Every structure is written in structure tokens, then in C-alpha cells.
Amino acid sequence: MRRLPSPLLPLLPLLPLLPLFSLLLLGDLGWAMKERAVPDLFKFQLREFSQDTVLLNILLGALPAAIAMLAGPVVGAWSDRTRTRYGRRIPFLAVCAPLVSASMVGLAYSEPLGEALWHLGGAVPGRRESTIVACMCVFWTLYELFTIVTNALFVALVNDTVPRAVIGRFFGLFRVVSLGVGVVFFYFVFGNELPAIARTAMLSIAAVYLVTLLVLCRGVREPAYPAPMPPLPPWRASPATPLLVLARPQDDARFYLLLFAALAIATICVLPVNINSYNAIGQFGVDRSDYGRAVAAAYSISIVLALPIGALADRYHPLRIGYVALALYALCMLGAWLLVSGRLSFLVWFVVHAVLAGVFLTGTAALLPVLLPRAHFSSLAALSASLTALLTVVFTLSIGALLDWNGRDFRVIFLAAGLLAALGTLCWRQLLAMHRRRSAALV
């Protein structure tokens, strides 16, 4: 019998799930186009009319975090308790997908709409740019509201339908599709021709996203769910109510609180570089084409690593992969703060940032699905997202203020990322120790 080449071995357990995976990965294609391209298209649009670092960090960091903190737990609990013939996630996805696409259409036309409103208001000199920025902010807020809800429920659908034994490898495939889209966008689109095609690109993404999500909703069949638990009386309900589900002898609510805190710190430590790197390129003599190629190079490396990292997560546990990746990221970002001085050094350390952040995301994508009970996954994941959101609001506003205070010296973004990642590594180490004790107690 001919032996299969070793790169294919991690994929063997996935073959019986090929129809399900095909539909989920088709939805991932639309999801990836939106996630990889729209934020940077928006940054490009916004930079043409405003270079306010505080506004940028509010719109890309604090605003989505605040929306996630307020809307996430409500929609998560609502979805967990929903029972329809179409499932508990798909009805929400089918409603939200057109709203996400509509908000992207609004973003595509925010400049002409802003100009029209400016003329209607009397064409007051000096207010054209602020009117256009205001339109961008409105449509971006709507985009973030609908996309945050949709993204959370998409992950919940994956958790409900994909077996846990292979979920790490599935998320590896998920990352391959997402990163492949990113490579195409940043290498072929995010260059000198972007001003001419930005609107067309946004409209194309809106159309592909809508079609792929609706096909996914039509094709995926959710499993049968047990009846939801009766709701708690109003006087016992609180944002932390889902943790009561975990207060059983074999579970330790303190472990979940530490898990959510460690994951929140690790998630937000990449934000200083993610949000501000495009605005930083002018300081280091990097043009838009160089930046796009650097992102494409980082994504290409991450594609090669995605499936092996997913397989390692299935074999050794996402906690261990996350701990190693976060420790390496902390060391490298502190090194970047000391070593970045010009065009080449910025591009090199930016690629290092993107690759290590990708390793962490791939290695820990299955973390909550592996550790949280499926019956209450969406509620508990929303609780985790709320803590992340709260820290994100504080941290991103602080980064924006710091950049204003230090005269927009963007080297500080590497220092902030490294210090927070180091703190996250300490939390992650404690989390690993607690996980080992809990696992030993359950044996």
C-alpha cells in the first residue's frame, strides 16, 4: 500500500467531514475577505481625511470592543436558548449577513454621501472633511455592530458542528483560507492603484460575503440540541450568570476567570501594531506597496504554518501552543522597540509581529471550544469577549493618547505590545499550572 506523504496525514481525519467543511470554508471565504480587507480599506479611506491617532484607535479598537461588551453577551445567551427548525445559530446569521453587506456598501459611498450632506448644509468652508469623516464613522459603527454579532455566531456554529477531536485542524484550514485571501489582497490590491479601485473592492467584498454566508446558512444542518435550561429569575441574573453553570465540583470558576483574563491580555497585546502600523509607515520611509507586500509575505509564511500549528494544538493542547507563541511574541516585540530605526528594520519586525500573532491565533483558535461546555458555549464565549472588550477600550484609548503625547513616534507601539505580552505570558503560565491541577483531579 502506497504511503501517503506526511503533509497529508493531519488531513486524514477530516475527509469524512468534507461536505460540512466545504460549506463552512465557503462561508469562511466571505468572512476572510471582509476581515482581511475591509479594516485596511477603511484605514486607507480615513487616512485621506484624518490622521488623528486617537480617533483611529477609538474606531478600530475601543468602538468594536464596546459593542462586543454590550451586545455580545445578550446575543450569545439569546442564541444559546433559541430553538428553531433551522437551528440556533443560522437564523441569526441569515438576518445579520445582509446587514453587514449593507454597511459595507455605505462605507464604499461614504465620501460622495458626505460631500452631498456638506453641500446640503451650505458647503461651509473647512467642514467638508469632517462631514465625510462623520459619515465614515456612522457606517463603520453599523459595520462593527453587525459584524461582531455575526463573527461570534459563526464561531459558535463551528463549535456546534465540528467534532472536538479535529477542531484544531479545522481552524488550521480556516486560517489557510483567511490568510490566502489576505495574501491576494495585500499583494495585488493594496498598492499604488488602491485609490482607483477601493470602492469597487469594497462593493465586491460586500457581494461575495452576502452570497457565501447565505449559501452556508442554506446548506449547513445544525445538530439536535437539548432543551434550554429554564431562565434564572431577574434578581439572580447578571453578566456573570453564565459562570454559575461552571460551579460544579469538577469545575473551578476561578480557572475560567483566569482563562478569560489571560486570553483578553493576549488578544489585545497585538492591537498597538495592528491598528497603528499603517499610519506608522510614513515615519520609517515605507510606501503603501512595501506595506502590502510585507503583509502578504507574513500571511504566506502563516499559511505554511497553519495546518502544522492546528495539528500541534490538537495533540498538545491549545494552552501550551498559546503559551509558547505569546512568550516569543513578547521577546520579539521588545527587541523590535530597540532595533526598529528605518524602512528595512520596520518591515522585518512588522513581518515578525504578524507571523507570531498568526501562530498564536491559529494555535489558540480551538481554546474556548475545547474548554467550555457546548450547551453554554455562546454565552460563556460572550462573557470572555466582554472582558476582552473592556480591556481593549482602556488600552486602545491609552495608546492613542500616548502617541499624541510622544509626538507620534510609532516605535512605542512595539514597546506597548511587548510589555503587555510579557504580562500575558505570566498569566498564561499560571493558567497552565491550574489546568494541570484540574486535569489531574479529574483523572
Mean pLDDT per 10-residue segment, the chain (443 residues): 50 65 83 85 84 80 77 74 80 90 93 88 81 91 88 81 74 77 79 75 92 90 68 45 49 78 90 86 86 88 85 85 94 93 91 92 82 71 77 83 85 93 93 83 58
9 in any annotated domain: no
Q: Is 225 exposed, middle or buried (0-12, 13-18, 19+ CB in 10 A)?
A: middle
208 in any annotated domain: yes
Q: Which domain holds residue 420?
A: 18-223+242-442
235 in any annotated domain: no
> Is this model's pTM higher than 0.75 or not?
no
Which pLDDT value is given to residue 265? 92
Q: Report residue 360: phi and psi, to 5°.
A: -65, -45
8 in any annotated domain: no
CATH number at residue 372: 1.20.1250.20
69 in any annotated domain: yes
**Into how many domains does the chain fold?**
1
SS3 of 49, please? coil
Which pLDDT value is given to residue 1? 44
Which pLDDT value is given to residue 402? 87
Which pLDDT value is given to residue 6? 52
Which pLDDT value is given to residue 347? 92
84 in any annotated domain: yes
1 in any annotated domain: no
SS3 of 120, please? helix
236 in any annotated domain: no
Q: Are 103 and 139 in contact (CB under 8 A)?
A: yes
Residues 6+ apart with CB under 8 A from 137: 59
d(CA 31, CA 133): 26
Which pLDDT value is given to residue 305? 87
Q: Is 396 exposed, middle or buried (0-12, 13-18, 19+ CB in 10 A)?
A: buried
CA-closest candidate to residue 182, choices 322, 39, 309: 39
Which CA distances in Å does 403 have to 273, 297, 400?
12, 27, 5
Which pLDDT value is given to residue 313? 83
